[in-house]
Amino acid sequence: MTPLALLWLAPLWLMLVFSTVPEREIFSVPVPLIPGDHFLENFRDLQADTNFLRTLWNSVAVSGIYTLLSLLLTSMAGYAFARFRFFGRGAVFTLVIATLTIPYFVVVIPQYILVAREFGLTNSYVGVVLPLLASSLGIFFMRQNFLSLPQSLLDAARVDGAGEYRIFFQIALPLVSSAMAALGIILFLTAWNDYLWPLLILTQRDMYTAPVALGTLLGLTRVSWGGIMVGAVLMTVPFLVLFLFLQRFFVAGITAGAVKD
């Protein structure tokens, strides 16, 4: 298993190495295996080509806004499905979950027509975030977690005269906070790495997210490969470090919906 594991790590290690050596060394024989001292020069190339810091900021903003809004919407809806009985509950829930198996490519054209042409939201954070919020990824997961709360707890609050929103925000939500953390990490990562939708909606270079900026460089003929590797490292390494410390949450988020307890 060890050779396979090393093979699996090799692309990430070489990404790191390539970001720190001069361009010509990337294509030299033998392939460099130890980091060099050219990271800052490569970063300067990247920054000159794309204003990469700005695109990183756009990515942080888009992913952050999306994660917070999506957590709010999916937890409210998940709570409704888990904790209230109302007309249409079963049918709506089935419909929402069924869309998990519908390919994104079926909806991307109408989404584009709606957001770009009807609403005129190109080059805006709103335009990037809005359609992503419709994803049903988190609904099932949040519903499962709210289902596991003891009814007596919620009833006690009701007897004390707390309103439904107060019960939700002050009692139910804090009790599922670790599930929300798991979901939040996955939502953030999904938005952070999203490529096609921001590519369609963002046309001004200063509004690009980091993947779009990097993707644009890949399409050009005269590029600084060292710079591109710096971009890949900046997009990836923070999450690798987080992954080392917060593995539990990543794994919980990925298996959300996969395993029924």
- Site for another protein, residues 211 to 240, rule: CB under 8 A: 211, 214-215, 218-219, 225, 228-229, 231-232, 235-236, 239-240
Q: What does the per-residue mask of binding to another protein show for 115-154, with x meaning CB under 8 A? A: ---------------xx-xx-x--x---------------
- Closer to another protein by Cβ: residue 34 or 258: 258
Name the token pair of 64: 């952050």
In this chain, which of 66, 168, 208, 249 binds another protein, going by CB under 8 A? Answer: 168
Distance CA 78, CA 114 (A): 27
Q: Which long-range contacts (CB under 8 A, 24 or more apart) does 62-66 make?
A: 62/125, 62/128, 62/129, 62/191, 62/198, 62/209, 63/188, 63/191, 63/192, 64/188, 65/125, 65/129, 66/128, 66/129, 66/132, 66/133, 66/187, 66/188, 66/191
Under rule CB under 8 A, which residues in 16-75 are in contact with another protein? 18, 26-31, 72-74
In this chain, which of 60, 61, 96, 171 binds another protein, going by CB under 8 A? Answer: 96
Under rule CB under 8 A, which residues in 191-210 are in contact with another protein? 192-193, 195-196, 200
Tell me: does residue 103 bind another protein (CB under 8 A).
Answer: yes
Distance CA 191, CA 178 (A): 20
